Amino acid sequence: MNNFSFYNPTKIIFGKDSIDKIGVELSCAKYERVLLLAGKGSIKKNGVYNQVTKSLQANGVSFVEMWGVQPNPTLEKVRETIIFARENKVDAILAVGGGSVIDSAKAISVGFYLEDIWQFMQRKEVAKQALPLYTVLTMSATGSEMNSGFVLTNTETKQKWGSGSNLLFPKVSIIDPAAQFSLPWEQTVNGGLDAIAHILEYYFVDSQAIITRAVNKALMKTVIAMLDRLQTNPKDYSARANLAWSATMALNGISGIGMNGGDWACHTIEHALSAIHPQISHGAGLGVIFPAWIEYMALKDPERFADWFEAWGETNTITGLIAMRNKIRDWGSPVSLRDLCIHKDDLPTIVDKIMEFPVIGGMSKFKREDIEAILLLAY
Amino acid sequence: MNNFSFYNPTKIIFGKDSIDKIGVELSCAKYERVLLLAGKGSIKKNGVYNQVTKSLQANGVSFVEMWGVQPNPTLEKVRETIIFARENKVDAILAVGGGSVIDSAKAISVGFYLEDIWQFMQRKEVAKQALPLYTVLTMSATGSEMNSGFVLTNTETKQKWGSGSNLLFPKVSIIDPAAQFSLPWEQTVNGGLDAIAHILEYYFVDSQAIITRAVNKALMKTVIAMLDRLQTNPKDYSARANLAWSATMALNGISGIGMNGGDWACHTIEHALSAIHPQISHGAGLGVIFPAWIEYMALKDPERFADWFEAWGETNTITGLIAMRNKIRDWGSPVSLRDLCIHKDDLPTIVDKIMEFPVIGGMSKFKREDIEAILLLAY
């Protein structure tokens, strides 16, 4: 097992009616004014906004609101909100939404004290402080509610980059699985695929990290089984709860124990893909890319991947690949770049964009021909 | 899945040569004088003491030493060390040892600011602060390196009680699996049995906590497999590392997610047992008690326990019980109270001691006849 450090101070409050507790958490910390950050309005439809604001008001928490964070959240919106946050002299942020809202909140939280947030993303500026961050999660997928990383898209330069800081662990994250009852099926699947992709990024790095691989297999099997249950009954509380916690665990550090930071080639490829084609949701993009990555890697080294396919009900590469893609198709999710409406002519531009990243992959550093091969397998 | 909260701010530094990092961690925090707490001297033999003090000296960390913490650590020693710590005006504690040393350090850390630590254990005094705690782990077993609880024995009243506080999470815990190469086999097994018992205390509470049960099964299977490997080769680094992290995970909160705080009947029974017979080590006592507890529970509700026995290579109660006890016997550990040199005449006294606890068990509150039946099965 590789050496590792683990540190994760986020407090999780999980379960039915847990959203009501956000007011007490914020009022105990005695903030002057909190920025409530949200997306495009789904939290008004599903009642979460009402639960949150009722709890804030009942506990005398003063807040201002900023709406409109979109999937694949943008640098532009973050910059706009940093100005808004400074003008309103907020001293904490409450993100109410999914990974995009929480990621934006992290960028705002650290950007609040910086010259320019994109400079920070480019490692040209260093963060020394950040606004304290609280979250109410409404879609389980990215794990952002319990880690210190975030991803942002610069629409001008068409760059989707990741960054992070130990300053950015949320102080408190509230996860009420029942708040996800009304999620469209597509978003539920995208979340599950994102979680599976996080597990994958760590899965193959070190076969000596036996306990991590066993935990990760347990996480993956649970995600698969819970997606199957939710496809039949989206209001299955137990399935929502187990999917939610599995997705959090897939990227809170536990899944990466002894795995040397992980591989991350699939995420790099997907980030380039959705930077150029922002209509592609992150989870759906990953659901196309990671089977192609596995196909490319497993054909070279089948033994290493047998254990992975076991979680999909098979043990050999050929039947495993078919079973995995069939399952994703059964969930109604794209399984090829064609399904994502990418033309073959677009591939070179995507390869160019991917090659802009200084490093692609952790286990083996991919070259242009590796990327081309994977995209062809994904096509 | 039951509602839950999770919070664990301990930073873990894990791996080969990680002990060298303790000096930097302490010097960065700028303490005036650190109390180095240790056991009976094994760290002088295995080189850990040298590694630690070299790192402290190289980083200019001033420290005083207190030796002599014993297994089933005593209130008396804790009280003595609190006086010593006050006299020496220490402002942090570094525990170098196994669970007994770390548990004692927690009691000293919180007791430093209290009228009397036993009053705190009796819930008659409330803690408002504690000395910051650092640990270098030399025996994986209790999980104390990454949780906020501790157990202490009052030899006068023959009471072995548990307590805890959010103030008592170690700031930093260092785990170098190689430091455990020289552990006697018996202690390695005791540590593994303790970890298995922690997993057991959560395992059966809620079958709807699917992900927790799957993670816990992964932990248990790993502990069993690594013990088997270490019985052949005690210097198998990968086995030491995977056993170490599994034992930490068995009681750092992750194994209890959605499990309503766990059951803890086995621990209560063992605590009474080793309070009266302090020569019994905690792990060995648990290795006798938990199979008896499972026998008592599984015969009433076999289906609930089939999944547990699967980790021991069987799926039905009868063969599972035999396989589990055979495995423990193969590891050279006691499987009955007789093996622990308890006489049948001693049982009533032990039952009386157990009945002193206000509550025994979480899933069903045990009465005297339940305890008598379990002790007979353990006999």
Each residue's pLDDT tens digit, A48-61: 999 999 999 999 99
Averaged pLDDT, A89-116: 98
Task: Please tell me the predicted confidence (pLDDT) of residue B292.
Answer: 97
For A169, which DSSP code? S
Checking if the pLDDT of A288 tops 90, the result is: yes
| Residues of A with Cβ-Cβ distance to B1 under 8 angstroms | 15, 177, 238, 241-242, 245
B222–A209 CB contact, under 8 Å: no
pTM: 0.97
Task: Please tell me the predicted confidence (pLDDT) of residue A196.
Answer: 98
| Residues of B with Cβ-Cβ distance to A17 under 8 angstroms | 3
Shortest CA gap A167–chain B (Å): 13
Rounded to whole angstroms, how far apart are CA atoms B195 and B246?
8
Does residue A288 contact residue A339 with C-beta atoms inside 8 Å? yes
Shortest CA gap A280–chain B (Å): 30
Does residue B336 contact residue B321 with C-beta atoms inside 8 Å? no
For the stretch B285-308, pLDDT in tens is 999 999 999 999 998 888 888 889
Rounded to whole angstroms, how far apart are CA atoms A16 and A14?
7
Residue A364: band (very low, low, confident or very high) from pLDDT cuts 50, 70, 90: confident
Dump the DSSP string for B117-147.
HHHHHTTSS-------EEEEESS-SS-GGGS
Averaged pLDDT, A107-123: 97
Across the interface, of B242, B257, B258, the residue whose CB is closest to A211 is: B242
Rounded to whole angstroms, how far apart are CA atoms A79 and A100?
15
Average pLDDT, chain B: 96
Task: Please tell me the predicted confidence (pLDDT) of residue A276.
Answer: 92
Shortest CA gap A281–chain B (Å): 26
Does residue A255 contact residue A246 with C-beta atoms inside 8 Å? no
For the stretch B327-372, pLDDT in tens is 999 999 999 999 999 999 999 999 999 999 999 999 889 999 999 9
For the stretch B236-255, pLDDT in tens is 999 999 999 999 999 999 99
Q: Which residue of B has its CA nearest to A215?
A: B215
Rounded to whole angstroms, how far apart are CA atoms A174 and A17?
10
Checking if the pLDDT of A284 tops 90, the result is: yes
| Residues of A with Cβ-Cβ distance to B226 under 8 angstroms | 210
Tokens of residue A12, six digits: 């999780």
Angle at B30 between CA B25 and CA B34, to 5 degrees: 75
Shortest CA gap B11–chain A (Å): 4
A254–B254 CB contact, under 8 Å: yes
Task: Please tell me the predicted confidence (pLDDT) of residue A302.
Answer: 85
For chains A and B, count residue pairs whose Cβ atoms are closer than 8 Å: 121
B15–A9 CB contact, under 8 Å: no
Residue B20: band (very low, low, confident or very high) from pLDDT cuts 50, 70, 90: very high
Shortest CA gap B105–chain A (Å): 21
B238–A3 CB contact, under 8 Å: no
Tokens of residue A2, six digits: 């590789």
Percent of chain B surpassing pLDDT 90: 94
Residue A299: band (very low, low, confident or very high) from pLDDT cuts 50, 70, 90: confident
For the stretch B143-173, pLDDT in tens is 999 999 999 999 999 899 999 999 999 999 9
| Residues of A with Cβ-Cβ distance to B17 under 8 angstroms | 3
